[in-house]
Structure 1
Amino acid sequence: MALTRDQIRAAYEQACRLEIEALKPGNVHVFAAGHDMTAEQFLLSARVSSGPLTDLDLPIGRRVLEAVRATREAVGTNTNLGIILLCGPIAAAAASGGEDLRQDLGRVLEALGMEDTRAVFEAILLAQPGGLGSAGEHDVREEPKVGLLEAMAAAADRDRIARQYVTGFQDVFEVGLPAVEETQRHGGMWPAVSAYMAFLSAFPDSHVARKYGPATAEQVMLEAREVRAALAAAESQRRVQILTEFDQQLKQRAINPGTSADLTVACLLVHLLSERLA
């Protein structure tokens, strides 16, 4: 069945809120600001971007562009480009009326075309991140020559968000979603923390790699694996301490695993939408 726009919008805002309420080491959350951004900015960004991102009358690329524009007007900085790029196709899939969200998402991605590329390129320029489009091929500052999937494929080896477009969101469904489902019984922030740590320990965070290089991203991944193992062996109160210590260590080094956080929002959104579709 198809979900209504109001249902999808509410799920998107809830996913963003659950992510920002989780103690995600190195990233912005309600327990500690970081990287010159606050949790309040992310919550506001979620509210103002939810309208255009779930506008059923707009093609996906235009939804992304208008959501980025609304965020930029509200907070004046790039808080959620990655989140918007990931959640736009997921939101469209939930409204398509199919019986399987993952299959519906695949069809949504296959239907993306040149106009979507043009709008997404404009959104990236407006958000001003470091990353997608900075290479010579399919530069976002130039008129696009290919559809969005081909443009994303050119960036997939250096950008984990672009990679989702060309793999049918494989990381979201096969890395993050099982982590959420395994810890759902614990409630609170733990499903979001579990997804975040699953992503951070599964592969080098591409935001960290862009800023500090692949060696640093690889080191953070290895540290995350140790932390994740420690979390699994610890009692609840000690788990908070472990997360807090790792959070402080990463922020002292100005390391922000932003891609892992963006993937966490997408994972939470898929989980929430799947519950509503069940």
Structure 2
Amino acid sequence: MDDPADNAELALLLEVAGTPKPGNVDRHRDLDDLRFEHFLAGAVGAREGLDLAANGAAVGPAFERAIEGMATHGENSQFGALLLVIPLVRAARDDLSQPVAESVVEGTTVADAAAFYRAFEHVDVFVGDPPEDMEPLDVRRGADAIPALEDRGLTLLDVMDRSVPGDDVAREWIRGFERSFTAAERLAAADGPPTDRAATVFLSLLAERPDTLVVKRHGEAVAAEVTERAAELVDRDALETDRAAVETFADELVDRGVNPGTTADLTAAGLFIALEHEAVEI
């Protein structure tokens, strides 16, 4: 596909269709509050925001529009994935490389940050309590926090910087989308259809680093346990897994309500990069 927005929408769809992805919605598993069809509808609903980014709009307004459309059609299905994919789509107008992606986020403004805050008014996003000195900038305040944001002159990149550590989507912004590009390389190296590759690469990412959404919801000990279990199941060099064992692990995490959603966001970003580089074909 030549249109980055097409590839971005497809990446969101392929991510949720990949199975098994332990603890996450996939085409065989729903969560109590999110179903497979929510993700399908969310990807379609986000399309206008993806188009804006592909056509050169600023990152913040494109993200806000994508989230508004996602929330209207598909609940909170892909907030973190879109926060990664939107700047990558914007970068794809020039050359989808880490240096260009870095330049895109470095060019964000206070207005982009304000649009990011307004996006929280469209959807309920699970976030932890901020430090006391950051309470005026709590993203859960939505547009009410924008005056404090403007007083401090914080760009969207500044906001992401203040979210690290503790949020690995924000960490991608600060570290040049390094894990997203790593995911793309692994997707290119893996075998099978894109959905199978997505599931395998998801597990390889989960095996490397505790998922920050799991840390926020369940604590560091549970997140470390999940990562250790994933590491036991995947050979990261060969990108091979014992599928039956992974299926069991996936069902167990869903039953426990343990959802490594940040790792799924990284997988979606990797899928977009791989599709743009024509490293994965349908």
Under a length normalisation based on structure 2, what TM-score does the superposition of the two structures give?
Answer: 0.87
Equivalenced residue count is 264
Aligned position for 1:109: 105
Does residue 48 of structure 1 match 2:68?
A: no
User: 2:86 is matched with which residue: 88, 97, 113?
Assistant: 88
Query: 1:170 and 1:29 mapped to 2: Cα distance?
Result: 25
Q: Flag as ranges the 4+ runs of structure 1 deviating above 3 A.
A: 132-136, 229-235
* Deviating more after overlay: 264-273 vs 50-59: 50-59
**Aligned-pair distance for 1:94?**
0.5
Provide closer, same or farther for how the CA distance between residues 234 and 130 of structure 1 changes in structure 2, counting only shifts above 3 A: closer
**1:13-72 residue CA offsets vs partner (Å, 9 max, x unmatched):** 211121111111110010111232111110111011022222125311011111111111
Provide closer, same or farther for how the CA distance between residues 132 and 274 of structure 1 changes in structure 2, counting only shifts above 3 A: farther
Structure 2: stretches of 5+ with no match in the other structure: none
- 5 Å-filtered alignment, 1:193-272, equals 193-229=199-235, 239-272=242-275
Aligned position for 2:11: 15
* Deviating more after overlay: 259-268 vs 136-145: 136-145
Aligned position for 1:69: 68
3-state SS of paired residue (1:255):
coil
Provide closer, same or farther for how the CA distance between residues 259 and 218 of structure 1 changes in structure 2, counting only shifts above 3 A: same
Provide closer, same or farther for how the CA distance between residues 22 and 32 of structure 1 changes in structure 2, counting only shifts above 3 A: same
Under a length normalisation based on structure 1, what TM-score does the superposition of the two structures give?
Answer: 0.88
Structure 1: stretches of 5+ with no match in the other structure: none
Aligned position for 2:36: 39
Name the aligned partner's letter for residue 187 of structure 1.
P
**1:139-161 residue CA offsets vs partner (Å, 9 max, x unmatched):** 22222131111111111100000
Name the aligned partner's letter for residue 16 of structure 1.
L
Does residue 181 of structure 1 match 2:198?
A: no
* Deviating more after overlay: 218-227 vs 50-59: 50-59
**1:211-246 residue CA offsets vs partner (Å, 9 max, x unmatched):** 0111111111111101214996978xxx33122101
Identical counterparts, % of pairs: 26
Query: 1:214 and 1:60 mapped to 2: Cα distance?
Result: 32
The alignment's C-alpha RMSD in Å is 2.2
Name the aligned partner's letter for residue 23 of structure 2.
G
